[in-house]
Chain A
Amino acid sequence: MATGTTGPAGSTGTNAPGRAHIRARHLRTDRWWLSPAVTVTILSAFIVYSTWRAFANDDYFAEPYVSPFYSPCLASECDSMPMSANAPLFGDWWGLSPALLILIFPLGFRLTCYYYRKAYYRGFWASPSACAVPEPRGSYSGETRFPLILQNIHRYFFWFAAVVAVILTWDVLIAFRDEHGAWGHMGLGTLVLLANVLLIWAYTLSCHSCRHIVGGKLKHFSKHPVRYRLWGFVSRLNGRHMELAWASLFGVALADLYVYLVASGAFDDPRFF
Chain B
Amino acid sequence: MTYKADFRIWRGDTDGGELRDFKVEVNEGEVVLDIIHRLQATQAPDLAVRWNCKAGKCGSCSAEINGRPRLLCMTRMSTFAPDEVVTVTPMRTFPVIRDLVTDVSFNYAKARQVPSFTPPEGLKPGEYRMQQVDVERSQEFRKCIECFLCQNTCHVIRDFEDNKAAFSGPRFLMRIAELDMHPLDVADRQKAAQEEHGLGLCNITKCCTDVCPEHIHITDNALIPMKERVADRKYDPLVWLGNKIRRRGSGD
Q: In the complex, A4 Cα to B17 Cα: how many Å?
A: 7
The one of B161, B204, B252 that contacts A220, using a Cβ cutoff of 8 Å: B252
Residue of A nearest to B250 (CB): A219
Interface string of B159-179 (1 = CB under 8 A from A): 111110000000000000000
Q: In the complex, A208 Cα to B210 Cα: how many Å?
A: 18
Whether B202 and A142, one on each chain, are in contact in the complex, defined by CB atoms closer than 8 angstroms, is: yes
Whether B160 and A140, one on each chain, are in contact in the complex, defined by CB atoms closer than 8 angstroms, is: yes
A238 to chain B, nearest CB (A): 7
A253 to chain B, nearest CB (A): 25
Residue of A nearest to B185 (CB): A219
Whether B17 and A20, one on each chain, are in contact in the complex, defined by CB atoms closer than 8 angstroms, is: yes
B89 contacts the other chain (CB 8 A): yes
Q: A221 with B134: in contact, given A5-B16, A132-B67 (CB under 8 Å)?
A: yes
Residues on B with beta carbons closer than 8 Å to the beta carbon of A209: 228
Interface string of B38-55 (1 = CB under 8 A from A): 000000000000000000
B82 contacts the other chain (CB 8 A): no
Which of B26-34, B108-116, B231-239 is the interface stretch?
B231-239
Q: In the complex, A114 Cα to B96 Cα: how many Å?
A: 34
Q: In the complex, A145 Cα to B224 Cα: how many Å?
A: 18
Residues on A with beta carbons closer than 8 Å to the beta carbon of B78: none
Interface string of A106-131 (1 = CB under 8 A from B): 00000000100110011000011001
Whether A142 and B153, one on each chain, are in contact in the complex, defined by CB atoms closer than 8 angstroms, is: no
Q: In the complex, A13 Cα to B232 Cα: how many Å?
A: 33
A271 contacts the other chain (CB 8 A): no
Q: In the complex, A219 Cα to B95 Cα: how many Å?
A: 38
The one of B131, B159, B206, B231 that contacts A14, using a Cβ cutoff of 8 Å: B159
A236 contacts the other chain (CB 8 A): no
Interface residues of A in 198-255 (CB under 8 A from B): 208-209, 211-212, 216-224, 228, 238-239
Which of A27-35, A85-93, A176-184, A261-269 is the interface stretch?
A27-35
A12 contacts the other chain (CB 8 A): yes
Whether A208 and B228, one on each chain, are in contact in the complex, defined by CB atoms closer than 8 angstroms, is: yes
Residues on A with beta carbons closer than 8 Å to the beta carbon of B90: 20
A2 contacts the other chain (CB 8 A): yes
Whether A14 and B158, one on each chain, are in contact in the complex, defined by CB atoms closer than 8 angstroms, is: yes
Q: In the complex, A133 Cα to B92 Cα: how many Å?
A: 11
Q: In the complex, A16 Cα to B96 Cα: how many Å?
A: 11
For B67, B87, B202, which residue has the most chain A Cβ atoms within 10 angstroms?
B67
B140 to chain A, nearest CB (A): 12
Tell me how many residues of A have a C-beta within 8 Å of chain B: 61
Q: A12 with B162: in contact, given A28-B66, A132-B67 (CB under 8 Å)?
A: yes
Whether A132 and B68, one on each chain, are in contact in the complex, defined by CB atoms closer than 8 angstroms, is: yes
The one of A27, A139, A217 that contacts B89, using a Cβ cutoff of 8 Å: A27
Q: A20 with B134: in contact, given A128-B207, A131-B68 (CB under 8 Å)?
A: no
Residues on B with beta carbons closer than 8 Å to the beta carbon of A148: 203
Interface residues of A in 3-29 (CB under 8 A from B): 3-6, 12-14, 16-22, 26-29
Q: In the complex, A26 Cα to B64 Cα: how many Å?
A: 10
Whether B183 and A132, one on each chain, are in contact in the complex, defined by CB atoms closer than 8 angstroms, is: no
B189 to chain A, nearest CB (A): 11
Q: A222 with B133: in contact, given A21-B17, A208-B224, A209-B228 (CB under 8 Å)?
A: yes
Residues on B with beta carbons closer than 8 Å to the beta carbon of A224: 252
Q: In the complex, A199 Cα to B29 Cα: how many Å?
A: 44
Q: A131 with B210: in contact, given A3-B18, A20-B89, A219-B183 (CB under 8 Å)?
A: yes
Residues on B with beta carbons closer than 8 Å to the beta carbon of A117: 203-204
B161 to chain A, nearest CB (A): 4
Whether B67 and A140, one on each chain, are in contact in the complex, defined by CB atoms closer than 8 angstroms, is: no
A83 contacts the other chain (CB 8 A): no
A153 contacts the other chain (CB 8 A): yes
A241 to chain B, nearest CB (A): 8
Whether B159 and A12, one on each chain, are in contact in the complex, defined by CB atoms closer than 8 angstroms, is: yes
Interface string of B99-141 (1 = CB under 8 A from A): 0001100000000000000000000000000010110010000
Q: A219 with B252: in contact, given A12-B161, A20-B92 (CB under 8 Å)?
A: yes
B220 contacts the other chain (CB 8 A): yes
Residues on A with beta carbons closer than 8 Å to the beta carbon of B20: 1
Residues on B with beta carbons closer than 8 Å to the beta carbon of A13: 158-161
Interface residues of A in 138-183 (CB under 8 A from B): 139-144, 148-149, 152-155
Residues on B with beta carbons closer than 8 Å to the beta carbon of A114: 204, 224
Q: A28-B66, A29-B84 are in contact. List 19 more A-B contacts (CB 8 A).
A: A1-B21, A2-B18, A6-B16, A6-B17, A12-B159, A12-B161, A19-B92, A20-B10, A127-B155, A131-B210, A148-B203, A152-B231, A208-B220, A208-B224, A208-B225, A221-B134, A222-B183, A228-B133, A238-B220
List 8 A-B residue pairs with CB atoms under 8 Å apart, sorted by A's residue number.
A1-B19, A12-B159, A29-B87, A117-B203, A127-B155, A131-B211, A134-B158, A222-B131
Counting from the closest, the 3 A-B pairs by CB-CB distance are A5-B16, A27-B67, A28-B67
